[in-house]
Structure 1
């Protein structure tokens, strides 16, 4: 495979991640806002939002063997197709349960596409460029999520316009994916399918990278709490959709600014040293968001500061988990990451809405900051464990060999 094609392949993977991030970033606030306007209770609204992540959770444990058989390309195409079709169906009927099923389908497709893309990128990346390449992945997804809420403004031209606009762009990228050459992941470390072997594989991976999975869980919780529960919080505090479209991307914007610098800094200094620090500072920023929640600029700047620190946690956790695992364990590590992300994402909207009801002024942000604080502690504990082991410290820390 020539270098030009490799760049084309990488670029197309990044574009596909961007477009799905935009679709997801639009769906969560748009659907929750429309349902809130139509009188759906915040609890049912939050439960409906979990469907996207239920779809991810159902699909991801079953993907390892199928992708090994059909290859990355087929998984990418199938995943994006499952995202694209529901976008054209959303405007047909505004109904909580109909939208629940459509978001379930989007979750299945999102899980397929991201599993294929992140495994392909992670395994193909040389160790000394892994953090950088994964940062591009996270940057693309982050820009997509930042662009997504801006599409909410198109609802002024009709309820169907944001859905159809996103669907058209997804269709264009879907056709481009057919230009890729299909490739297959390396053989997994164990081909046995017995329950005992499967359990032992999961146990080894979980034991090796448990704090990295905690980071992924926390990011899923954080992201969906902001995307789903924050619009409800904002509307109840008198902010309109235009204000929401400015406030909500603030967190993502912060993550975009530091995505590449933190990725390369992690390559150089070690992700296990960097993660405890940025999660601790992110905890403080989100706590201050709760304190200043009655002030527009207070929310904006504290969310921006939180994004600067923890807006790139997903890509950081991808790199960290990959550093802690053998190459043949990476696909399974990606599966567990997606499971943790999905569980966090399912719990996030429900917990966020409950915190809004229990403590209307700032409860959402206090709850999220507490979970992030626990994440910082978990990263610190595993960093100490790795330091004590000593023998493979630099390898597991993700320090560049340069």
Structure 2
């Protein structure tokens, strides 16, 4: 672990600040929208703009890097991010905000591709797993810290927008000034969606539904808090509980994933998410209850992304895993775009608790579909399954390919070890 920190500390510090800025702007915009009088429906498609831009960036950023290189792409997109974050407060208009969210999503996606390319280049076969784990932890810590920073100033003013812009700007310094040279950039052509669906229907469908859950949590949690009448401090604690759950539950769920039928685990944790969501939908409880429910839902939804990828890998040849990652990201992104809009409409029609009802419905669908798939084919033996590798749903194709490379390396090591016995 110390070797990872020694080789990648600049990148990790930069990503910490970057995630602090990104996590802060999501919560801040949700609260500021309520102050400006925007309805949940309006804010839902504003928030969806980020995921639309992110999906486009994940497809176009690799081509931009091939044309002009890592450093130029990183610097250009970094400038766009800083400018957009300041412009939010300059003109609080829903159409302008939607445009800025699309640009931000596109720019953050490209920045992640560049940063994760450097991270991948700095990792060796021996440190790849530790690097991924450290990267995930840093991402989650950055988002959780962002909620604490929200309490530094009035969200109705300019100060927090300046803070988030400065945090993002500072994140570029350790990355761009790193002694590591720009790596050779290569990405695998994504697998066709039809082929991915044939290989693992549960992985494809589950990733689409999970995209809707993740975008609701990332984009609409603060808006739910404002609709419930929470103050800024309560909202930040609620959002932080979601990401804290995702960080703390990632590794125990991963441990279980490598020791049992992954479909049973998917059924179990999505059922837990459904029960927690159902309880929060119909019980108008205390603030502490919402913290607990947020922790549970975050704790089951975040590891599901890695779990679906690992399960899909169980039915792929090693040479197809990297190609599958691009298809899985695209499917997840499609689900993420529609998620906030459905939640915003439901909250307007049926009240703020529809936020949990929507998540509960998707959790139930994932659980039921996993049970159905258990009747369609036998599970591979635990010895033949791929390694569970923790990865955030906000990761770029580079991060997911890095996780796939680690899974392939571990599988090959296990095969060599078995052949020697």
State the TM-score bracket (shorter-chain normalisation): 0.7 to 0.9
Deviates more, 1:141-150 or 1:246-255: 141-150
Q: 1:22 to 1:341 in 2, by over 3 A?
A: farther
Decide whether the 8 Å contact of 2:209 with 2:335 is kept in 1: yes
For 1:271 and 1:73, locate their aligned partners in 2 and report how far apart those are by CA, in whole Å.
40
Decide whether the 8 Å contact of 1:72 with 1:184 is kept in 2: no
Q: Which residue of 2 aligns with 1:147?
A: 145
1:161-220: CA deviations, max 9, x gaps?
A: 22221222222221222223222355747xxxxxxxx8x744334433443344443343
Deviates more, 1:327-336 or 1:275-284: 327-336
Is 1:394 the counterpart of 2:385 in the alignment? yes
Shift of 1:283: 1.9
Is 1:333 the counterpart of 2:288 in the alignment? no
- Report how many aligned residue pairs link the two structures: 390
Q: 1:342 to 1:202 in 2, by over 3 A?
A: closer
Shift of 1:106: 0.9
Q: Which residue of 2 aligns with 1:192?
A: none
Decide whether the 8 Å contact of 1:287 with 1:365 is kept in 2: yes
Q: Which residue of 1 aligns with 2:96?
A: 98
Deviates more, 1:174-183 or 1:372-381: 372-381
For 1:270 and 1:73, locate their aligned partners in 2 and report how far apart those are by CA, in whole Å.
43
* Structure 1, unpaired ranges of 5+: 190-197
Shift of 1:32: 2.3
Q: 1:331 to 1:394 in 2, by over 3 A?
A: closer
Q: 1:256 to 1:355 in 2, by over 3 A?
A: same
Aligned residue for 1:159, secondary structure, equals: coil
For 2:364 and 2:55, locate their aligned partners in 1 and report how far apart those are by CA, in whole Å.
25
Match of 1:343 among 334, 340, 346: 334
Match of 1:171 among 148, 169, 172: 169
Q: Which residue of 2 aligns with 1:203?
A: 194
For 2:354 and 2:232, locate their aligned partners in 1 and report how far apart those are by CA, in whole Å.
21
Shift of 1:371: 0.5
For 1:317 and 1:135, locate their aligned partners in 2 and report how far apart those are by CA, in whole Å.
17
For 1:76 and 1:115, locate their aligned partners in 2 and report how far apart those are by CA, in whole Å.
9
Match of 2:237 among 220, 242, 246: 246
Q: 1:76 to 1:44 in 2, by over 3 A?
A: same
Is 1:287 the counterpart of 2:282 in the alignment? no
Task: Using structure 2 for the length normalisation, give the TM-score.
Answer: 0.77
Q: Which residue of 2 aligns with 1:31?
A: 29
Decide whether the 8 Å contact of 2:270 with 2:300 is kept in 1: yes
Q: 1:389 to 1:72 in 2, by over 3 A?
A: farther
For 1:121 and 1:269, locate their aligned partners in 2 and report how far apart those are by CA, in whole Å.
31
For 2:126 and 2:200, locate their aligned partners in 1 and report how far apart those are by CA, in whole Å.
20
> Which residues in structure 2 correspond to 1:58-73 (within 5 Å)?
58-67=56-65
1:28-63: CA deviations, max 9, x gaps?
A: 232122122222222122111111112112232334
Q: 1:8 to 1:132 in 2, by over 3 A?
A: closer
For 2:20 and 2:207, locate their aligned partners in 1 and report how far apart those are by CA, in whole Å.
20
Match of 2:289 among 289, 292, 298: 298
Q: Which residue of 1 aligns with 2:82?
A: 84
For 2:127 and 2:361, locate their aligned partners in 1 and report how far apart those are by CA, in whole Å.
33
Aligned residue for 2:378, secondary structure, equals: helix
Task: Using structure 1 for the length normalisation, give the TM-score.
Answer: 0.80
Q: Which residue of 2 aligns with 1:108?
A: 106
For 1:15 and 1:224, locate their aligned partners in 2 and report how far apart those are by CA, in whole Å.
25
For 1:323 and 1:7, locate their aligned partners in 2 and report how far apart those are by CA, in whole Å.
31
Decide whether the 8 Å contact of 1:145 with 1:252 is kept in 2: yes
Shift of 1:245: 1.6
Aligned residue for 1:356, secondary structure, equals: helix
Aligned residue for 1:311, secondary structure, equals: helix
Is 1:274 the counterpart of 2:279 in the alignment? no
Q: 1:208 to 1:143 in 2, by over 3 A?
A: farther
Q: 1:8 to 1:166 in 2, by over 3 A?
A: farther
Q: 1:261 to 1:95 in 2, by over 3 A?
A: same
